[in-house]
Structure 1
């Protein structure tokens, strides 16, 4: 019965005229935006058959492997230790408020029971729908699910070759954008009609065709319209490193907090949409056995603070092992972040950018008339900030003790307590 219903839904969705109109988000969509902006902390999961190679998610491209040889990994993929409910419990204990999962990365392998290609999780020794298990666990634990979906494919001939996937054995003469676009939309329709509420779709790969002449037409308005028609409340974000296009509901930044471009991927202007920064816990996105360069817990907490200080969410990435376990070091980091957030989360969740501080040494978040000033530089013994707002009192977040301060000519100064934690938090109570 479900297959009959699905066919009807697909035909109705794909049979509608695809010409997009001016985008007007629904009330449900606007509410999801508001909740998303309150969450401040999510977990990113990069997981697929590339985990078996233990060389990261770009191994097919970087090692110039033949796509058919690479695909043989599917014959050995058996993540016997995967436990979706346990994953979600771990993320919740860490203080995260949602998860973004790679349903299909650039290698083209689908992690659900798709009817559009046999290159999927059901045709492995494991033979179970990973997205189904994850969606069920998320819905049961009231934990929002976001899905990552790659716009590019290094294995399918119908996807036009861009600046990546040049050496995987694809035949450029077989490129067929219309067919590939239809394939993607049918897969997205599956994900948005068979797995319950999906709070966001996270696209990646626009940059693969940025050198195309004339400009490559991704047909984003039509695809965005399809998504919003299937799930009006679903948020759309695109990791294209550009100013948001019409139809997008959140703005994404890669490896940089909004307004910075240290990694060279986030030079776009910051919009008024809800913001999200994604970053890896170590070096790679997908599992790489030699990548033990994990950021310390202190570094991760400071990154979370700096991101919140920009009014953005932190999407922190983990690459699970091929057996389905989360790396032990990653779990330890998550537990320690969760401990910190239990006592300090009020300064992060449901806040907006505070507007005080330089964003590096001093960062601030705000809830109404309460300003949380995070002092991240341990060498500072006093706080000096520009502040024209009328401050009623200042307290030490650690013990709620009052702090002496002076405020003259738009300058606020107070002596700081010794640093005993990751950061010192000074609370400004405005009149």
Structure 2
């Protein structure tokens, strides 16, 4: 039977089985994956949660140099507020100047968590680092973090984690393992282009306007993996890990991110966006009521927004009505058991 869970700023709805082409690591992955059956039930029973997208991009509100950054003039990803650095081709130093002024003094973790609980949500997934490369927790791996780089001098992820413990909600964490516009995460495009010289060059989601000097593999070894170790150590007993946008990551690279999380927290479920069919459950396409094709997965989760963006855009007022949201929730729930 297909299983579910629904998740809000955003909603997610949740739905195991796998078979991949043979790779040396597949048998090891299967053992880890199959050890999580009891945690699948825990995940499925939670049903409804909050997905928080919040960072330096929120300060910009979808506007750069007085211009609304929209798909019609800046490409499809400009629909999303959290992609403004990419859509507006903001140089790294200019983006970091914005970060220097990011000071969300009104942030109240307990208020956010209580709001989620009052809405019937049972878990929260928060953003540790999105594609902009800026960490929203106190990281010792990179100075580009909210504690060291901004006047805020607080760790909002730690505060949310403690608030979830206090009010009885489970917590998962998002980490953009593949894209990092500050430090060289290009979603594996360069390694793909090198392996396929006969095909058109792919630069989707990569920083080609002000490229960092680090290679993709250097970014993985020097920043992404160390930050994940840091996160998994600092925030134990996580519900799930939300990786994102694997695109041209190799199977070995995806496996290493899966195993890294398993070695620290074997109970944490890994979403399909770790890449190469090596997750524990499927993260359906954004705002899709169910995956178009469940493929190798039975366990799944739907992420959805309340308007058209995850990150804040000051001019996106295309809000879904209460009726539409309730219909979506009911339709998603009806596909599970």
Global fold match (TM > 0.5)? yes
What is residue 228 of structure 1 aligned with on the other side? 262
Compute the displacement of 1:23 (Å): 2.5
1:308 positional shift: 1.1
C-alpha RMSD of matched pairs (Å): 2.3
State the secondary structure of the residue aligned to 1:204: coil
Q: 1:114 aligns with which of 117, 139, 143?
A: 139
Counterpart-to-counterpart distance in 1, 2:58 and 2:243: 21
The match for 2:290 is 258
Tell me, yes or no, if structure 1 residue 130 matches structure 2 residue 156: yes
Matches within 5 A, 1:209-220: 209=248, 216=250, 219-220=253-254
1:170 pairs with 2:196:
no
Maintained 8 Å contact 1:57/1:287: yes
Gaps of 5+ in 1: 1-17, 210-214, 261-267, 312-351, 353-431
Q: Which has the larger radius of gyration?
A: 1
2:52 is the alignment partner of 1:45: yes
Instruction: Provide closer, same or farther for how the CA distance between residues 281 and 136 of structure 1 changes in structure 2, counting only shifts above 3 A.
Output: same
Q: Which has the higher relative contact order, 1 or 2, with Cα contacts under 8 A spaced 6 or more apart? A: 2
Q: Distance in 2 between matches of 1:112 and 1:127?
A: 10
Work out whether 1:289 is the aligned partner of 2:296: no
Total equivalences in the alignment:
278
Q: What residue number does 2:10 align with?
A: none
Distance in 2, matches of 1:26 and 1:204, equals 19
Query: Please, which of 201, 221, 245 is the counterpart of residue 277 of structure 2?
Result: 245
Instruction: For residue 269 of structure 1, give the secondary structure of its aligned residue in structure 2.
Output: coil
Q: Alpha-carbon deviation of 1:32?
A: 2.0
Deviation, structure 1 residue 238: 2.8
Aligned partner of 1:153 in structure 2 is 180
Cα distance per residue 1:196-223 (max 9 Å; x no partner): 211100111212x3xxxxx745611122
Q: TM-score normalized by structure 2?
A: 0.76
User: Alpha-carbon deviation of 1:26?
Assistant: 7.5
SS at match of 1:190: helix
CA contact (8 A) 1:67 1:168 kept: no
For structure 2, the residue ranges without an aligned partner over 5 or more in a row are 1-23, 63-80, 190-202
Shift of 1:136: 0.7
Inter-partner Cα distance in structure 2 for 1:158 and 1:36: 30
Q: Which has the higher helix share?
A: 2
- 1:77 alignment partner, SS class: coil
Distance of 2:42 and 2:216 partners within structure 1: 39
Asked if the contact 1:257–1:310 (Cα under 8 Å) also holds between the matched residues in 2, the reply is no
What's the secondary structure of 1:57's corresponding residue?
Answer: helix
Equivalent-residue separation in structure 2 for 1:107 and 1:22 (angstroms): 30
Q: Counterpart of 1:204? A: 244
What's the CA shift for 1:71?
Answer: 1.4
Normalized per residue, the structure richer in strand is 1
For residue 50 of structure 1, give the secondary structure of its aligned residue in structure 2.
Answer: helix
Confirm whether residue 83 of structure 1 aligns to residue 83 of structure 2.
no
Aligned residue in 2 for 1:309: 334
Contact 1:65 1:167 in 2 (8 A): no
1:142 alignment counterpart: 168
- 1:410 alignment partner in structure 2: none
State the distance in 2 between where 1:38 and 1:168 align.
Answer: 45
Q: Is the 8 A contact 1:80 1:126 kept in 2?
A: yes
